[in-house]
Chains A and B, each alone.
Chain A
Amino acid sequence: MRRVAVVGAGLTRFMRRAQESGTELSWLAASQALASCGLGLKDVDSVAIGSAPDAFDGVHMKGEYLTPGAGGWGRPVTRPYAGGGTGVLMPIHAWHHVASGLFDVCLVVAEEKMSTCHPHPQGAFVTIFDNFLERPLEPNLIWIFALEMQRYMQTYGITKEEIALVSVKNKRNALDHPSAQVAEEITVKDVMESEVMVSPVNRLDVSPVSDGAAAIVIAAEDVARRLTDKPVWLDGVGWNLDTAYWTNRDLAFPAYVERAARMAYKMAGITEPRKQINIVEPYDPFSYKELHHLEGLLLADKGGAPKLTADGVTQRNGDMPVCPSGGLLGVGNPIAAAGLMKVAEIFWQLRGEAGRRQVPGQPKVGLAQAWGDLMQVGTVVVMRVD
């Protein structure tokens, strides 16, 4: 199978509410991604569009709806979807487009407008719960995270203060990201004193609701080498889904992330992830999730991720920078676009183009991971420069 690379990326601002429509946001990200590698729409063979449930926007079939702005006119278009996992599922899906030999250049666009649903998009999430066994209990989406966080904390004896360090780190990192919606300098005390939403989740433990779009261009090896002297290879892809019967699972450890990671590591020839992965963008919609996912990715021992954070290992100048972008906690969380923002971050970091966010030491191997559904889906890509 031929090698596949990311050769361009584009990103809008992430905002609580954008004036732009979803189609316009897609256009802004997609056109920017093409311009970044000197391509026009005529050079694009296929398009993959990612966006979260139609219920958010009250629009039927969002892939089709966004197509004009996402470069899909007259082209083969697909729309894979995996909740929050979509942002990393998109490059995995596009990898297939190109590795198969069917297409040379695939434009990947992920968009979200969460501002549309009133009074709050959390209401649209109610349908994530089982119709019969859970919805009559009138649950709030955040219950899922709170229950998982509680189990994780109690299983390993982790404190809220240890977890709060992730919010502090990521919101500070985001100060250097031009697209950031909620970047700020905060302290652990600020997190602990912020409003309790659903214990043990406080307001500053949670990423915001956002509008935004991201896009990347994926190309086959020979095309990639013509376009750029720094193609970023998609060397490993992995994805995995756990059972919908989430109340029968061990919530302390994301087994589906481990399985997705092992698949990607095997493909990329990674045998010692903690040593060989230089830079990591795990999905951080909540502060504890960065830690939970680092353990699922086998980059920390079970229960060991908080210590890495406390020791500074995951800072930008640490041994294994985690969320140098600022993550969802700092940049924002337009659901499908957020994961693709992380892929774009690894792309820029490995090429030395991350500006003030640049991690020192010329990282060569990066990993982006996203997560979604009822704590079900793990999507992982391993990216590499020569």
Chain B
Amino acid sequence: MSDSTDRSPPGTPLSDEAIQQGKVLTLEWPSSLRYAWDTGVAIGRFLAELKNGRIIGRTCHKCERVLVPPRMFCERCFRPTDGWRFVQDSGAVNTFSISHLRWDASRIEDPILVAVIEIDGASSGGFLHYLGEVKPEEIGIGMRVKAVWKPPEERTGSIRDILYFRPS
């Protein structure tokens, strides 16, 4: 009874011009939502330690992992994690990218260099951050890097207390 190709599927495509020239009625509604999130126990400590210029993780003795970012429970063993452990502010590039787009898809001239950093002392991986003081063509997976911190008086307890990671 039905052949998927012998009919024209329903749907009325609109062009940008139709919108811009007001040929179709539209309504704009800017959303205004403000949130104030609780950090949670684990990330609260992580951010506080970033303000101190240090990276902290949690340990799970059952699966023997050092977890960065820290969490108060191990999601694999499903038990509370056992303790805090400071890790290094150095590591290696696990993967990277060179972004020519901003968060809202607008284009930028000066690309953003971003990477997942495997933090020394953590069991696997680490977190997302910027790379700096490096040319895009010089970046490679496995490259050793070290955190460049904001001066202590400028730190606020944010992931941005680290400015970026640079080759070491």
List chain A positions with a Cβ less than 8 A from chain B.
8-9, 11-20, 25, 28, 32, 36-38, 58, 118-120, 122-123, 126, 131-134, 136-140, 142-143, 146-148, 150-151, 154, 176-179, 195-201, 211-212, 243, 245, 247-251, 344, 348, 353-357
Contact = CB atoms under 8 A, between A and B. Distances in A.
B4 A18 contact: no
Contact of B99 (A16, A20, A146, A348): A146
Given A132-B159, A134-B128, A13 B5 contact: no
B102 A247 contact: no
Interface of B: 1-16, 19, 24, 28-29, 31, 37, 39, 43, 46-47, 67-69, 71, 75, 94-106, 114-116, 122-130, 136, 141, 158-160
Given A28-B10, A134-B128, A140-B103, A150 B75 contact: no
Contacts of B10: 12-13, 28, 32
A148 B11 contact: no
A123 B128 contact: no
A107 B60 CA distance: 46
Nearest to B130: A137
A247 B31 contact: no
B129 A137 contact: yes
A136 B103 contact: no
Contacts of A154: 95, 141
A357 B43 contact: no
Contacts of A25: 11
B39 A137 contact: no
A272 B28 CA distance: 53
Contact of A357 (B5, B16, B71, B158): B5
Contacts of B125: 245, 247-249
A348 B11 contact: no
Contact of A247 (B28, B96, B126): B126
Contact of B2 (A20, A120, A151, A353): A353
Contact of B98 (A15, A136, A199): A199
Nearest to A133: B159
B96 A150 contact: yes
B1 A348 contact: no
B11 A20 contact: yes
B141 A143 contact: no
23 contacts: A15-B13, A16-B13, A16-B14, A17-B14, A17-B15, A132-B43, A133-B43, A140-B103, A143-B97, A143-B99, A143-B114, A147-B116, A148-B95, A150-B141, A176-B5, A178-B7, A197-B100, A245-B67, A248-B122, A250-B124, A353-B3, A353-B4, A355-B5
A13 B13 CA distance: 8
B46 to A, nearest CB: 8
A245 B13 contact: no
Given A132-B43, A142-B101, A151-B141, 7 more contacts: A28-B11, A118-B28, A179-B9, A195-B100, A198-B101, A199-B99, A245-B71
Given A36-B2, A249-B125, A122 B104 contact: yes
Contacts of A28: 10-11
A150 B95 contact: yes
A56 to B, nearest CB: 11
A124 to B, nearest CB: 10
A197 B115 CA distance: 16
Contact of B97 (A18, A177, A198, A250): A198
A8 B15 CA distance: 31
A354 B103 contact: no
Which of A147, A148, A247 has the most CB atoms of chain B within a 10 A radius of its CB?
A247
A25 B9 CA distance: 11
A245 B60 CA distance: 15
B159 A134 contact: yes
Contacts of B96: 147, 150
A163 to B, nearest CB: 15
Nearest to B15: A17
A58 B26 CA distance: 14
Given A197-B101, A243-B75, A13 B11 contact: yes
B13 A17 contact: yes
A132 B47 contact: yes
Contacts of A36: 1-2
